[in-house]
Amino acid sequence: MSYPSIAHVPVTAPSSPRHPFDLQGRVALVTGCNTGIGAGIAVALAQAGADIVGLNRSDASQTAEQVQALGRRFVPIQADLSRTEAMGDVLAQALAAVGHVDIVVNNAGIIRRADALDFTEEDWDAVMNTNLKSLFFLSQAVARHMLDCAAQQGAQWRGGKIIHIASLLSFQGGVRVPSYTAAKSGVLGLTRLMANEWAAKGINVNAIAPGYIKTNNTEALRQDAGRADAILQRIPAGRWGQPADLGGAAVFLASSAANYVHGHTLAVDGGWLAR
């Protein structure tokens, strides 16, 4: 699929929001939005009025089509998020195309499954680099950009929003996913740390902890009939989640409605943690 060039489109000052959840004039950088949770969140943000910069390792044309069908812009950027040296170039590409980034959704992640006794260093590093290390350094790069915008715009600056995608395993131990559990526990901790440091600077940092959602990452679980049934029996809502179920939480945390929400990890889990 070919994408229209938008580098020439001038960035204009956003108008006052019509309602607290209005994201018109805002630009959201969403990682891992080619499919699954990231795609669902990107579309939801576009429905609320945001333009999307999609940062992916692979093609995101399906998400782009959905965003563009809503009348919003979609800027595709391809990069390997396991390499932190790519962060500066990624942000430079985004700024060259759209001028500013107001919202970041750190969704990109991978999972490796094996018993803790057999888990390899290679699998540990792969998950930690993608799910935690890159999340920190991309957030750092964008936070610096946001503070530059604050210095330039003064009272006109509308603030920045950073949203991490955590997990139920930010709260629980899980089984056979040691590096994933460690990384997602780290995401919860970093959410709090960044909020402590950046809240007074006008940057909201929060997280969403999805429950069991029908995505590629949960395919192995859903193919295991016994495990899938046991999971379903524990979910009070009586069903697995869909990627679109995360959209409302993302729009809320990205909007002015959440201006006084800092350092919170919001579970969207069908009631799993309440059980």
Q: List active site positions.
A: 180
CA angle centred on 264, ends 197 and 215, rounded to 5°: 120
Cross-strand bridge partners of residue 163:
105, 206
- One-letter amino acid identity for 131? N
Taking a C-beta distance cutoff of 8 angstroms, is the pair 134, 81 a contact? Answer: yes
Q: Cα separation of 181 and 235, whole Å?
A: 20
Taking a C-beta distance cutoff of 8 angstroms, is the pair 54, 60 a contact? Answer: yes
SS3 72: coil
Q: Are strands 103-106 and 160-165 parallel, antiparallel or unpaired?
A: parallel
Tokens of 272: 């799993």
Nearest CA among 240, 184, 180, 173 for reference residue 207: 184
Q: Cα separation of 69 and 79, whole Å?
A: 25
Tokens of 36: 């699954």
Taking a C-beta distance cutoff of 8 angstroms, is the pair 275, 41 a contact? Answer: no
Maximum pairwise Cα distance, the chain: 57
Q: Cα separation of 97 and 77, whole Å?
A: 10
